[in-house]
Structure 1
Amino acid sequence: MSDLDDAPLQHVEAGVDEIPIKATNQQNLDVILRIPVDVQVVLGSATMPVSNLLKLGRGAVVPLDHRVGEPVDVVVNGRLIARGEIVVVEDDNSRFGVSLTEIVGPTGSIE
């Protein structure tokens, strides 16, 4: 239950008809909640010359700059928002997930 549900119903003049503010706010919130975002979990990165990249084949291993056990970055629409640990999804042992351990504040600080 949100704060919008507890707010008193108010009206705004809109021509001949009156529009309830509570309903308008809920509709705006519903629109915002449907916006798709791109979520990425960054396991690490690597830099290599194009010549080495072209030599990669099936089964090749590319060493990353992160080590096992280090937190991974959670990035939304290109912006770091959190850090977390890789976990195995309980319902499906063939899938991985991320358990968030730190939330990055708007100024880049950890909360």
Structure 2
Amino acid sequence: MADEGDKGALAAAAADAVSRAGRVSAVNKIGVDITAVLGTAEMKVSNLLKIGRGAVIELDRRVGDTVEIRCNGMPIGRGEIVVV
């Protein structure tokens, strides 16, 4: 049979687990910005002003190239450009 000390320790451990679960739940609700830079292009403003809906801008990366994945501006990983 468990003595009072064991019961108190179990209760404290259970309370700590509930507290941690609450903190994890709160952290899981935080929004972050995820960015994958697929490439860049350079053009004159005059050309930029001519761009309309459906225009294609050629970037400096290709299928198979590596891209950097960022979370709130900080690099967190790398990915690969693929055709889906």
Mark yes or no: TM-score above 0.5. Answer: yes
Gaps in structure 1 of 5+ consecutive residues: 1-7, 12-18, 89-95, 97-111
**TM-score w.r.t. length of structure 2:** 0.69
CA distance in 2, matches of 1:64, 1:9: 60
Looking at secondary structure, tell me which structure has more helix per residue: 2
Gaps in structure 2 of 5+ consecutive residues: 1-8
Q: Deviations over 1:40-91 (max 9, x none)?
A: 2221112222211101123322121212210122121112211112346xxx
User: Does residue 47 in structure 1 map to residue 28 in structure 2?
Assistant: no
Higher-RCO chain (CA-CA 8 Å, sequence separation at least 6): 2
User: Does residue 74 in structure 1 map to residue 75 in structure 2?
Assistant: no
Identity value in percent = 47
CA distance in 1, matches of 2:78, 2:32: 17
**Which of 16, 22, 44 is matched with 1:21 structurally?**
16
The ranges of structure 1 where at least 4 consecutive aligned residues each deviate by more than 4 angstroms after the TM superposition are: none
Paired residues, number: 76
Aligned to 2:5: none
Looking at secondary structure, tell me which structure has more strand per residue: 1
Larger radius of gyration: 2
**TM-score w.r.t. length of structure 1:** 0.55
CA distance in 2, matches of 1:9, 1:23: 12
